[in-house]
A and B are shown apart, each in its own frame.
Chain A
Amino acid sequence: MNETLVTLVRGLIGFFTLLILTRLIGKEQISQLTFFEYVLGITIGSIAASLTVDIGVDPWPQWVGLVTWTGAVIALQFITLKFRRAEKYLNGEPTVVIMNGQIMDDALAKMRLKLDEMLQLLRQKGVFDLGEVEFAVMETSGNLSVLKKSEHHPVTCKDLNIPTTYKGLGTELIYDGIIISQNLRQVNLDRQWLDSQLRKQGIADPSEVALAHLDTNGELYIDKYRDRVQNPTDPSDYPGVQ
């Protein structure tokens, strides 16, 4: 048995299986995962690692295990998406831990969350004074959502009756030196317009541009490959390789 070759092949099988299966699971961010989903992720990763390096074990059952766990996650996602009651039952519900400025001690005890831990979560949300909090809700993901009392809300443009302009999503027109024609057509512009804009900034060819981004106000941001910063700030305190 050629162990190197077997590990290499098994590694590729594990890697691409994991890639495909995690794409199937979806786009949930780490911060949105419930504790159970977090543990599921670790288990699936651990099976994939074992499939790769544990050549003393038959790989087929491990691969089937990997697919089974992912299938179970997808099935659970489908059930919680379709049936609200099942979602509440399986994922739990958000818990109010501060209501009208009062700490709900029973709710904290039920979640086995210490007061110190809740204060820490509040500080992480930028709240250092409990008196500012109207409501705090512990989400199923373990994140704390905080609603401050209205007098502590930051002033917005609306409060001051300041008119604002629409700010939508910008469009990338050049990426990595290549013009994205589809995006150019989407914003009803053409190559001539883009070329003229580039010439205005002294750029002869789009290949000199790393990124060109058009915002909804029609302003074009261009980043060239050749940076013209004379004295770049170096935040490092390590001299590096001379």
Chain B
Amino acid sequence: MSKFIAYLIPALVLTLFAAVLLSPQFLKEPLGPNDDVAAQITTLENDISREDWTHAQADLKTLDNTWQRIVPRIQFGLDRENIDKIDTGIAQLRGAIAARDKGEALVSLNAVKKFWQDIGR
């Protein structure tokens, strides 16, 4: 094995590991239609502000589905706590929307928004 290849292999492996661990930064971005969590949070925020609870419930379901689809691809570079926080935030949001509690819903949604923005930072 040439010296170049002997050094190239570990360099490539370390680069790959770094890419995997930093992957949430890139993989949280939408990769297709109905994959944009940030946009779905904004839509939900508008629903709650207008107190349009029927749409809010439907949009929360879409947000939850999108989030559950994104978790497997970002989980290797993320701590469990961060994922748990968003899961808990969505659960609280579900309760607040069911109770039609605008204040509580906005608090929970903003927490989810902040945890989402923290991913990959």
By a beta-carbon cutoff of 8 Å, the part of chain A in contact with chain B is 1-3, 5-6, 9-10, 13, 16-17, 20, 23-24, 55-60, 63, 67
Decide if the interface of chain B is mainly helix, strand, loop or mixed.
helix
What is the distance, in angstroms, from A102's C-beta to the closest C-beta of chain B? 52
User: Which residues on the A side are within 8 Å of B10 (C-beta)?
Assistant: 20, 23-24
Q: Is the CB of A1 within 8 A of B17?
A: no
B→A interface (CB under 8 Å): 10, 13-14, 17-18, 20-22, 71-72, 75-83
The 8 closest A-B pairs by CB, nearest first: A20-B10, A60-B21, A58-B79, A13-B17, A1-B75, A1-B83, A55-B80, A9-B76
Please count the residue pairs between chain A and chain B whose beta carbons lie under 8 angstroms apart in the complex: 48
Once the chains are docked, how many angstroms separate the CA of A5 from the CA of B10?
A: 23
Kindly provide the distance from the CB of B85 to the nearest chain A CB, expressed in whole angstroms. 12
Q: Which of B18, B21, B22, B80 contacts A1 (CB 8 A)?
A: B80
Q: How far is the CA of A3 from the CA of B72 in the complex (A)?
A: 11
- The A interface, classified by DSSP as helix, strand, loop or mixed, is helix
Tell me which of B13, B21, B71, B81 contacts A59 (CB under 8 A). B21
Given contact pairs A20-B10, A63-B21, enumerate 13 new A-B contacts (beta carbons under 8 Å).
A1-B75, A1-B78, A6-B80, A9-B20, A10-B76, A13-B17, A16-B17, A20-B13, A56-B79, A59-B77, A59-B79, A60-B77, A63-B18
B21 touches A13 (CB 8 A): yes
Contact A13 B81, beta carbon cutoff 8 Å: no
Q: Is the CB of A2 within 8 A of B75?
A: yes
Which residues of chain B are near A58, meaning CB under 8 Å?
A: 78-79, 82
